[in-house]
Amino acid sequence: MNITLNNGVEMPTIGLGTFMMSPADAEEAVYNAIKCGYRLIDTANGYMNERAVGRGIKKSGVPRNEIFLETKLWPTVYSNPNAIEETLERLDTDYIDLLLLHQPCADYKGAYKMMEQAVRDGKVKAIGLSNFEGEPLKEILEMCEIKPAVIQVEAHPYFGQKELKEELAKNDIKIQAWYPLGHGDKSLGEEEVFTRLAEKYNKSNAQIILRWHIQSGHIIIPGSRNPEHIKDNANIFDFELTNDEMNEINALDKNKRYYEPKPELLKMYASMELKKELDV
């Protein structure tokens, strides 16, 4: 299932996230995901596994033009004029389907202009932001020549991002959810509504949550190293939640984040150089 971005690019609604995966795990997970039908792969400079992701794609044998490859620039490379070329080299590809700025710190305005030029040069198909909300997002929307196509943020039934979604809808910007299952929070995963609906539709609680995301218009990138879990996460397109069921899940929203974008964290990100493991 694909979604059309505001620049006309088609993007799959579900993909594999590779956050916190070692190069070996990322390569194998990417290979397994593509072999079982995934066509969206998400990585980042900061995950230090981009080379492995590129190897996993090559190993799958699926043509590059059938894969939607997404990565993110780390803040300490925002001022590096070669950052995108170096990212392309690590991924072993001629272009990136979606390139995001990872955090709202350092010279993110200059970095956004660099990404806009990369679109004009044909090196990037679409651009967006990760973890941008509030004033930083407003600044980008006011200065950009190419609108962000996607904003990647924390989103799950406990944190539905209702206000942000309403703001983004004005510019037809899509939400991509990380922590789509709530960072493994058992209290979320075992909510009675998910257990009940899982029994009704013969699915797992996690599959019910992921289906809620899809029907909410979210792009999702659940991460897993387990081939069976990877397969199950994508097996959510043979049923549909009713409006009442969607509303029941929406009512779980308690504005609960698992990640707080504190100023001290952003300051640390702005000075955190990428490690050599990036090139493994």
Better-predicted residue by pLDDT, 221 or 184: 221
Q: What is the model's pLDDT at position 219?
A: 98
Share of the chain above pLDDT 90, in %: 92
Q: Is the pLDDT of residue 276 over 80?
A: no
Q: Which residues are catalytic?
A: 47
Q: Where are the domains of the chain?
A: 13-279
> Cβ–Cβ contacts within 10 Å for residue 58, how many?
15
- Least confident segment among 55-69, 73-87, 210-224, 256-270: 256-270
Decide if domain 13-279 falls under CATH 3.40.50.300.
no
> How confident is the model over 248-266, as pLDDT tens digits?
999 999 999 998 888 899 9
Give me the amino acid identity at 147.
K
Q: Confidence band (pLDDT; 50, 70, 90) for 69?
A: very high
pTM, two decimals, is 0.95
CA dihedral 247, 251, 253, 254 (to 10 degrees): 170
